[in-house]
Amino acid sequence: MQALKRKQDEFDQITGNMKEGLVLLDHMGRIISINPAARALFGANADCVGEDFLTIDRKRDIRQAVGAAKERGHSSFRAKKNGREYQFDLSRIDSEGSVHGLVILAFDITEQVNAERNRREFTANVSHELKTPLQSIIGSAELMENGIVKPDDMPKFVERIHKEASRLVLLIDDIIRLSQLDENAEMPHEEVSVRVLAEEVCEALSDAAKLKDISLEVSGDDGVMNGVRRLLYEIIYNLCDNAIKYNHPGGKVHVSVKEQAGMLSLCVQDDGIGIAPEYQEKVFERFYRVDKSHSKQSGGTGLGLSIVKHAVKYHHGKIDIQSEPEKGTAISVSFNTNEY
């Protein structure tokens, strides 16, 4: 009896800590055991043991799955419960030619389903975004090929092809970067000074800033942290690039680095066109642009801020956005320097 009790306690311990829902039914479909995760899932309490399982859940899909598992040995289906998505696997327990019961396992697959949907949406968006510049290139090339373009207009057409092809390269680069981040692959960490990186970024963007008569300034602490150099560079580059792109001629961009109590923050502030409150969350979504034509004109891909979001998440950091139309935008990213 003692050994049996010990075994039962062990079983309860294990199934009690499982995230997955587990239900054991006897050959009549009565509940022999139901773990806490399954009880929460089916809205049942502990004294449902001994009851017919189909009185706990009368939904058609579970009834059909129980019938199918009894007949064929196995069945599975997906269903939404309590606002989350679950996969139910049912297996018949056979022993020496007779049916002893049924095991029902329920897995929470909400994240997986969301990731699949995001991937599908991303693929559809990528195809659309790649098609637009390609169509423009083909259109221009066809006109030139058919001799419709006047010699004087030739440079304009060649320039359009060049511009659209360069946009494609930028787009593909961004897509590759995002896919690498999606893969969540381990990347080499090293000691990096965020201030030095910010200065390198400003150097790289100095021509673009000069062209728009925008001043770029870096100030603050060294901001040394352990991180992935390439990703941190990417964060600062995309934020500064936007601060220049969505600014007025004569505008200012200020990058500041601050270290305080184990936290490191970097803020890129501009006095440009700003972002209305209703778009401030959306700009971090893939391919989202407030003003599509402005973004396209200035070489935007709509992926810059999603790369920033991912790269910050990779470093377990936080993003904060403050913006007011026609006043400017300040985007800060902060990291816990004790994290690694």
Least CB distance from residue 53 to ligand ADP, whole Å? 50
Residues 86, 246, 254, 333: which binds ligand ADP (CB under 6 A)? 246
Considering beta carbons, is residue 113 or 290 the nearer one to ligand ADP? 290
Least CB distance from residue 293 to ligand ADP, whole Å? 10
Does the CA dihedral 111-115-118-124 come out positive or negative?
Answer: negative
Residues 31-50 as x/- pattern, contact with ligand ADP by CB under 6 A: --------------------
- The structure tokens listed for 45 are 């309490």
Nearest to 86 by CA among 111, 61, 107, 59: 107
- The structure tokens listed for 12 are 């309860």
Considering beta carbons, is residue 44 or 303 the nearer one to ligand ADP? 303
Considering beta carbons, is residue 14 or 169 the nearer one to ligand ADP? 169
Q: How far is C-alpha 174 from the chain's CA centre?
A: 14
Contacts to ligand ADP from residues 256-315, by CB under 6 A: 270, 272-275, 283, 288-291, 295, 300-306
Considering beta carbons, is residue 56 or 257 the nearer one to ligand ADP? 257
Residue for token pair 């936080």: 318
- The structure tokens listed for 68 are 């199918």
Contacts to ligand ADP from residues 200-239, by CB under 6 A: 238
Q: Contact 24/32 with Cβ under 8 angstroms?
A: yes
Considering beta carbons, is residue 35 or 323 the nearer one to ligand ADP? 323
- The structure tokens listed for 165 are 């092809």
Residue for token pair 């971090």: 284
Residues 314-333 as x/- pattern, contact with ligand ADP by CB under 6 A: ---------------x----
Measured CA to CA in angstroms, residue 187 lies from 28, 205, 306, 329 at distances of 54, 25, 19, 31
Least CB distance from residue 64 to ligand ADP, whole Å? 46
- Cα atoms found within 13 Å of the Cα of residue 54, Cβ hemisphere only: 12
Residues in contact with ligand ADP by CB under 6 A are 238, 242-243, 245-246, 270, 272-275, 283, 288-291, 295, 300-306, 329
